[in-house]
Amino acid sequence: MASKEDFRKKLVDLFLNTNKCRSVLFLAEASIRKAYREMFPTEIASLECMDGRVDVTYITKTPIGIIQVYSEGGGQFDFGWFSFGWLIRRWVKYSLKKKRNKIILCSYHFSKGDKHRCCAWFKYDTEAAKKHQQYLVSQFKSAFKKNHEVYPIMIGVDTDTDGIIVHGIDGKILDLREFNSDKKELLIGIKELFPQMTDCVIKDFAQLLLGNIQHIKEVKELNRPIQSIDHQEQFLFLGRGFEWFNLLNKALEVGPYNPDLSKPIIVAAKVLLQNIQKGRIPAEEGILLVTSAVYGTDDNTEYHHGLAKARFLAKFAKEVIADNVKELLPYLHEEPLVGVLNFDTFEYKEIGLEPVEDVKEEVLV
């Protein structure tokens, strides 16, 4: 009979093996990414719910490493958050230097088929979720309205079909679930929603939407069973650098942005507990907490800061769960997977919860 340790190993192996494959692919796709960048130079950031069913990179069939992903409970970000606001401003500055336009996707999600498959963070209230994204769009519009070429756009994701709804001016929408025309019509449709948008940005945005139209078709052909569109996550990801993980509905992903970080961790822990209680995932396999911090090659301080951040996040999350969702503890593997991700290779390196004396951590690679 498999032991708890065997089940932990199964989840750890799934994570690390997926990372290995994706890192190899990321490096092999360098020329594809370069060509993509040359053809579609607009920088794209996607603000998403931590929900494992929402993955804009995946549902738009975009090569990994193109979209900058930020995850948070309900996608309920606020530009006023210190680290988040700083990261967005740094990204805008970087794009300005590269003379690239910028799109910030502010997404909410919902289920066409069942209210209870909508966003748990917003207590399944899709209108409240939309309202927040409108607020976020207006924050970005005010901050970047002068010569920054930043286009904040609200989108909705129907997790039943993975279809995107784009929201434009005057309440106009473009619903890709019902779109059955050609690229020319799509370009016209985007222009109607965003009359101020330059042709270059329209072309680049259209590329994402065309990817989604193709993905919607594939999902339809798969005839996905209803149980696979309800929550089935087994991992709790905490930190940054998980955008390579492409197994849909396997992980709840919480970024380190919310000034009250315990809040999204508690909500995520409750969703995971429900997954077990409702039999949506095998209880014996348990839940694995994985933390990650990113660093760039040749930046030793950033690397060391990453080690400290990943370990801190793991200890913090364990405490928060023990204090607030202790019913999850029998299912939560005691030893989290703690590591750092090299942002230049997308390679994840396990570092352990505590520094090991014998390992020379000052050596970067």
Residues interacting with Zn ion, by CB under 5 A? 49, 51, 74, 119, 121
First-last CA distance in the chain: 39
Strand ranges (E), 73-198: 102-110, 150-158, 163-167, 173-175
Closest approach of Cβ 191 to Zn ion, in Å? Answer: 30
Q: Which is nearer to Zn ion, 150 or 267 (CB)?
A: 267
Distance of CA 124 to the CA centre of its chain: 19
Is 160 or 204 the residue whose CB approaches Zn ion more closely? 160
Q: What is the DSSP letter of 187?
A: H
Residue written as token pair 């336009």: 101
Q: How far is the CB of 160 from Zn ion (least distance, A)?
A: 14
Least distance from C-beta 260 to Zn ion, angstroms? Answer: 17
Q: How far is the CB of 110 from Zn ion (least distance, A)?
A: 9
Task: State the nearest-atom distance from the C-beta of 119 to Zn ion, in Å.
Answer: 3
When the beta carbons of 71 and 207 are compared against Zn ion, the nearer one is: 71
CB 206 within 8 Å of CB 30: no
348 Cβ contact list (under 8 Å, min separation 6): 15, 16, 19, 23, 241, 292, 339, 340, 341
Q: Which is nearer to Zn ion, 74 or 239 (CB)?
A: 74
Of 186 and 281, nearer to Zn ion (C-beta) is: 281
CB 268 within 8 A of CB 284: no
Dihedral of alpha carbons 355, 359, 363, 364, sign: negative
Tokens 């738009």 belong to residue: 60
- For residue 336, which of 51, 3, 12, 7 has the smallest C-alpha distance? 12
In whole angstroms, how close is the CB of 291 to Zn ion at the nearest point?
21
For Zn ion, which is the closer residue by CB, 104 or 129?
A: 129
